[in-house]
Structures are given as C-alpha cells and as structure tokens.
C-alpha cells in the first residue's frame, strides 16, 4: 500500500479486479486484492489515510469491502492484512 497504489483508485472495484487478476495469473482457486492509503500522506477528504479496499474472489463467489483503519502506516498495514485473512477465512467456511 502506498507508493504506486496511491496513483490507483482505492475502491472495491479495483480490489476485485486485483483479486481476479491474481487468481487468473497464479492459477489458484482464491485470489485476494488489497489497495489502500496507508499513509502518512496520500489521503483526501473523501478517502483519508487508513482507507483500504479488500476483495477475495473464487470461481463461485466474490466479496469486497472498504475499511477505514486508524493509526500509523505499519498499524494500517497490519489491520489490512488481518482483515484480508479474516475475509478468506470466512469464505472458506
């Protein structure tokens, strides 16, 4: 998150496209996409630092959600990783 991703739109649509691309390119059953603004800069009034879109895609379903995490860059990244893993866990139930 950050760097190049700052140039991309942070949205569920982008996260879904990323997850689908990962799934297709890697030839796996489940793909995950995460895009966001981890900080310290790059935020806007509409999408402040801590805005993260996460998606997971399989052949049968897809899920996505936009989160608003709080804290410094490393904490935002950690919270995003945990949310992505939880999304995968819930899809596999």
How far apart, in whole angstroms, are the C-alpha atoms of residue 3 and residue 41? 10
Domain spans in the chain, listed from the N-terminal domain onward: 3-92
How far apart, in whole angstroms, are the C-alpha atoms of residue 53 and residue 69? 11
Tell me the mean pLDDT in the region 25-42.
96
What per-residue confidence (pLDDT) applies to 9? 85
**Binning pLDDT at 50, 70 and 90, where does residue 72 land?**
very high
How far apart, in whole angstroms, are the C-alpha atoms of residue 14 and residue 16? 5
Inform me whether the pLDDT recorded for 6 exceeds 50: no
Q: What is the DSSP letter of 16?
A: H
Q: Which residue has the higher pLDDT, 8 or 17?
A: 17
CATH T-level topology, domain 3-92:
Maf protein (3.90.950)
Dump the DSSP string for 36-92: E--SSS---SSS-TTEEEEEEE-SS-EEEEEEE--SSHHHHHHHHHHHHHHHHHHHH
Tell me the mean pLDDT in the region 42-50.
94
Q: If you average pLDDT over every residue of the chain, what do you get?
A: 92
């Amino acid at each position: 998150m950050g760097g190049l991703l700052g140039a991309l739109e942070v949205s569920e649509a982008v996260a879904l496209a990323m997850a689908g691309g990962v799934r297709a390119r890697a030839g796996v059953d489940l793909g995950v996409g995460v895009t966001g603004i981890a900080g310290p800069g790059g935020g806007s009034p509409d999408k402040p630092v801590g805005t993260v879109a996460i998606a997971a895609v399989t052949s049968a379903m897809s899920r996505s959600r936009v989160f608003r995490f709080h804290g410094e860059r490393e904490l935002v990244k950690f919270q995003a990783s945990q949310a992505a893993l939880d999304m995968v866990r819930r899809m596999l139930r």
